[in-house]
Structure formats: structure tokens, C-alpha cells
Amino acid sequence: MAGNLQVRVAGRPTGIPQAEHFAIVDGDVPAVGAGEILVRNLFLSVEPAMRGWLADRSNYADPIAIGSVMRALAVAEVIESRASGFARGDRVLGWFGWQVFAAAGPAAVIRTIGDPDLPPSLALGVLGLNGVTALLGLEKVGRPVVGETVVVSTAAGAVGSAVGQIAKRLGCRTVGIAGGAEKVAICREEFGYDAAIDYRAPGFEAALAAACPRGADVYFDNTAGPISDAVHRHLALNARIVICGTASVASWDPAPAGPRVERTLLTRRASMGGFVVLDHMDEFNAASARLAQWVREGKLNYREEIVDGIEHCPDAIADLYAGRNFGKRLIRLEKRA
């Protein structure tokens, strides 16, 4: 019967997923089983983490099978409900994939979107995985306290921009690292960083050192690679490094070489810890509600970069890794489907 455009996984990337790894297919609108809902997606999310979800090896999520619809969070409207607790017209956040229509059981739904005063798309960014990653990663692994210096890489990105603002709220000095003068300006002007540094500019490390006169107490690391090597050279005693993403590393198969970190961690009594928000989904709604309150109060700024049409999905992950986006990248699906 067709009528359900889908982005399916057509090949398994070894590095960053490219357009060639996806195929757009006109699939069937699914039948709705007992206990399920049928949704029409309004916004599809694009995440750096999708690289990991597509990798064919032990990772933090089962790899997505070739031929299946690309795993993605989406904001959707319920078209038909055969599940208790959901009604036609409800807006929901869930694992509905890169497609127009999805049939889903309650386990795939993260929550009903209950903030009518806020744009529903925020459930995919500042109130969604990105914002919750920033808040919980900072609190659980970074553990900043008043007066500490918090350094953030990809500081203008969907996660980093929230990290910087949350750390500032906590009374920290915030130092953002971003690529290019425009993002650096956004860091300062929109996201309130006390200092923002262009890692592509000459003198990056000297600027970093000047911005952290007492060293970095917390480093929220979204990049790994040479940016992180520089930050590691300027850690304060007892520094905590949140390992959240590795945007600057093109391929982890095999892992690229870099300076060994053990002596830095030892002499600085520092720690590095990996954070994956999917481990903390039981805290997702409470965290999202805190973020929503800050957005309402005008204390948490965000940027969205919305493109129209499912045909933009296959390129979207590579675009993120190229740093071409300014804010949370979303794919909007028009109601005419």
C-alpha cells in the first residue's frame, strides 16, 4: 500500500555515516496491533550518537540491522491509538525512526509532550536527549561546584551549549571551545560563556590556558582528539572529565593514537568517565521538566536548525560531524507527507 517514506540502512559505515549508507524507500503504512499506537512523525532527530548505533561491534546500543529503518527519536502525533493512555492527537516523543508513519508499543514512547507553551520540537533537543545528556552528564560525572572552571568542547552544539549554560547557573566559570569565529561569537553572546575559543585559530592552546588561569576543574568532552589533548594539559587538581562524545575522531576502527593519559590523570588526581544518557532514562522526564522550566524563565537558550523533508536525512549525520550545523539539527516532515 506504500505511502510511508522511510530511510533505511543500506550499508554499514566504518567511520562517519554518509548518504550512501542510507536508502529512501516508499514503505507501507504499518498496521496497528493491539496495545500499539500509530503515529505520524512531525520532527525527526539527528544525533552524533547515530554513528555508534550504526557501528557493527560492541557498543552502547545494539547495532541497527541492514535494511531496517534508521533508529531515531522523533516527535510525532498519534493518529490512531489501540494503547491505553494515548489518544488521537496526542503529541509524543519516542523511538519512531526515520520514517513518516510508525506503529509503536508503549516501550518505544518516552513521554507524552505536555508543555503546550513550548515548541514540540524542543523535545528532541534542549528538552530531549541533548539537554538531558548535558544536565545529567554534568551532574553525575562532572560534579561541578561553585567557583570551578568548566571547559566544554563543541560548546555551541546541542549538548555543549546546554552544558555551558547549566554550569554557569551553578556558579561556575565557563569556557567554550568551538570551531570558527561565528560559533565562538554565538558561545559568548547566546550561551553566556565567560570565554570562548576557536580551536582552529592560531594560539588555541595559549588562549585556553589564559581562559583557565587555575586550570580546568571539569572538562565536558564532546570531541576527543587534539582538542582534548590540549585541555588535558591544563587540568586542575582533582579534575573530572566527562566523556560524552568523540566528534573529532573520524574513525575508531582502529582507535587512533594519541598521548597516553595515565600520567596526567595520576599527577592531577583526575578522572575520566564515560556518560551515556540511555543508561538514565528513568530520570529523563524529571530532568526534562527542570530544563523546560529554565527555558520558560529565559535562562536556557537553544538553537534549532530545521530542514524540511525526509530527503535530508541521509546527509544529516555527516553534516553534524563536519560542524556545518548551528544548533540542533532536525528534519521536519510536512503534514502533506
Give residue 75's identity as a one-letter amino acid code: V
For residue 269, state whether it binds its own copies (rule: CB under 8 A). Answer: yes
Angle between helices 204-211 and 225-232 (to 10 degrees): 40
Q: In the complex, what is the shortest distance from the CB of residue 283 to its own copies, in angstroms, rounded to a whole number?
A: 15
Give bridge partners of residue 111 from the DSSP assignment. 93
Dig out the grid coordinates for 8 from the structure. 533505511
Between 12 and 82, name the residue whose CB sits nearer to its own copies: 12
The one segment of 34-42, 148-156, 181-189, 251-259 that binds its own copies by CB under 8 A: 251-259
Chain positions 215 to 244 lying near its own copies, rule: CB under 8 A, are: 221, 224-225, 228, 243-244
C-alpha cell of residue 246: 568523540
Considering only residues 60 through 79, tell me which ones interact with its own copies, judged by CB under 8 A: 60
Nearer to its own copies, 25 or 265 (CB): 265
Question: Backbone phi, then psi, for 174, in 5-degree steps?
Answer: -115, 135
Q: Indicate which single residue of 67, 106, 171, 273 sits in contact with its own copies (rule: CB under 8 A).
A: 273
**Residues 70, 188: Cα–Cα separation, whole Å:** 35
Measured from the CB atom, is 36 or 47 closer to its own copies? Answer: 47
Residue 112 and residue 94: Cα distance in Å, rounded?
9
328's grid cell: 540542533
CA distance from start to end of the chain: 15
Closest CA to 184 of 169, 201, 166, 196: 196
Alpha-carbon distance of 38 to 40, in angstroms, equals: 7
279 near its own copies (CB under 8 A): yes
Give least dist CB 256 to its own copies, A.
Answer: 6
Pairing label, strands 74-81, 22-28 = unpaired
Least distance between its own copies and beta carbon 269 (Å): 5
User: What would the grid cell of residue 205 be?
Assistant: 592552546
DSSP secondary-structure letter at 256?
Answer: P
Of the CA atoms within 13 Å of residue 220, those in its CB half-sphere come to 36
51-59, 101-109, 181-189, 314-322 -> range binding its own copies (CB under 8 A): 51-59
> Which one of the spans 30-38, 63-71, 258-266, 320-328 is the region binding its own copies (CB under 8 A)?
258-266
Burial of 227: CB neighbours in 10 Å, binned 0-12, 13-18, 19+: buried
- For its own copies, the closer of residues 114 and 259 by Cβ is 259
Closer to its own copies by CB, 61 or 79: give it: 61
Q: Choose one: 104-112, 273-281, 282-290, 328-336; the region binding its own copies (CB under 8 A).
A: 273-281
Our CB check for its own copies shows the closer of 92 and 242 to be: 242
* Residues 6+ positions from 236 with CB-CB distance below 8 Å: 148, 149, 212, 214, 215, 216, 217, 268
Residue from 85, 171, 258, 309 in contact with its own copies (CB under 8 A): 258
Q: Note whether 15 binds its own copies by CB under 8 A.
A: no
CB 164 within 8 A of CB 152: yes
Residue selected from 2, 84, 117, 260 as contacting its own copies according to rule CB under 8 A: 260
Segment 106 to 165, residues that bind its own copies, using CB under 8 A: 141
Minimum distance, C-beta of residue 145 to its own copies, in the bound complex (Å): 18
- State the residues that interact with its own copies by CB under 8 A: 52, 58-60, 141, 221, 224-225, 228, 243-246, 249, 252, 254-276, 279
